[in-house]
Amino acid sequence: MTKADIVNEVARATGIEKVTVQRMVESFMDSVKIALASDENVYLRGFGSFIVKKRAKKTARNISKNTTLVIPEHYIPAFKPAKVFLNKVKNNIKRK
């Protein structure tokens, strides 16, 4: 499902114009980005949490050049689904 699919689904379900829904979805995503960039987590009860994870410094190898390099500690955005959401996905996905 793409962002356009989400906009279409929300517009169909609520009766709100697609342009307005598009702005709301964009605004939501911008708010999450700004919060995470400010080292604030975003908690959506029943859905999940957008969090910032710290990755430790590590040594990596470039096999083709046979060299090592140090990757410094850094932060990455992550999503942790709520238990309700996780259970719904686990129990409703039909394996092919």
Alpha carbon distance 47, 33 (integer Å) = 17
Judge whether residue 32 has pLDDT over 60: yes
C-alpha dist (Å) from residue 16 to 7, 11, 24, 38, 87: 10, 5, 11, 31, 30
- Express each pLDDT in 37-51 by its tens digit: 999 999 999 999 999
**Which H helix or E strand runs over 79?**
strand 74-81
- Residues 47, 80: Cα–Cα separation, whole Å: 9
What is the CB neighbour count within 10 angstroms for residue 43? 12
Domains of the chain: 3-92 (4.10.520.10)
Tell me the pLDDT of the chain averaged across its residues.
93
Percentage of residues of the chain with pLDDT beyond 90:
85
pLDDT class for 92, splitting at 50, 70, 90?
confident
Residues 6 or more apart in contact with residue 56 via CB below 8 angstroms: 73
Nearest-angstrom CA–CA distance, 18 and 6: 10
Residues 54-86: pLDDT tens digits?
Answer: 999 999 998 899 999 999 999 999 999 999 999
